[in-house]
Amino acid sequence: MKKTIITVIVAATATFLVFNFFGSGKRFNTKAYENKIDSLASEIKGIEKQNDSLESTITVVENQNLVLSNNANFLTAKIQNLKADNSKLEAAKAYHPHQVDSFFVDRYKEQYKTPTKDTIQLPIPVAKAAVVDLIDFDRTKTIVLNQDSLITNLQTTVGNKDKIIVTLRTKEDNYQSIISKQVQQQENYKIIVDGLKTDLKKQDFKMKMNKVEKFVMGAAIIGLAVTHK
């Protein structure tokens, strides 16, 4: 009888000792998940810096477009004024012969320097008409040059707007990437929390088993003491 009791006590004690040694298991390791979260945070920070740089680029381009817009308004007004202003044409129609002569001498200075024996005489009305046509030609040429500048200005503005659109799309893609990485961070946090909860349950179970183990050990000691009397 005593032998049987001793055997049971030793077996129970050995079982609890073996369970305590092998049953505790490994604790949940959070390091890999923490490293992943830190890595994602670093990537997010890099993307945010890139977006800050893109925002600065947008600001610069928008300021350029503001200048271009003001320039376009100036050129448009200038072209309208040139088209509407006929004062020089009206004045030329009233030129007297000396003014007609002076106009051609002033306009073709180099040609007048060339010695020639040939002379062409034009009636004053014809000469006046030529002066008016030339003044109108100068005005038209100025209008065309300003229109070319306006077109170039508008093309640059459109190009800048396209650049802004591309930049905004890049920013949007970056924000989507940030959201994706934040989701990954949350998933890693969840894994850590779940792992730590599992560890807490294991620790709670272990503490309960330690109490049982102490009770069994105490009972074993008492049993051994009784059986040896």
Q: How far apart are CA 48 and CA 70, in angstroms?
A: 33
CATH number of 2-227: 1.10.287
Q: Is 81 exposed, middle or buried (0-12, 13-18, 19+ CB in 10 A)?
A: exposed
Per-residue pLDDT of the chain (229 residues; tens, 9 = 90+): 555 555 655 555 656 555 555 555 577 788 899 999 999 999 999 999 999 999 999 999 999 999 999 999 999 999 999 999 999 999 999 999 999 999 999 999 988 888 777 777 778 889 999 999 999 999 999 999 999 999 999 999 999 999 999 999 999 999 999 999 999 999 999 999 988 888 888 888 778 777 776 776 676 667 666 665 5
Q: How far apart are CA 89 and CA 179, in angstroms?
A: 67
Rounded alpha-carbon distances, angstroms, from residue 214 to 1, 139, 210: 24, 110, 6
Domain locations in the chain as residue ranges: 2-227
What is the residue whose two structure tokens read 């008492």? 222
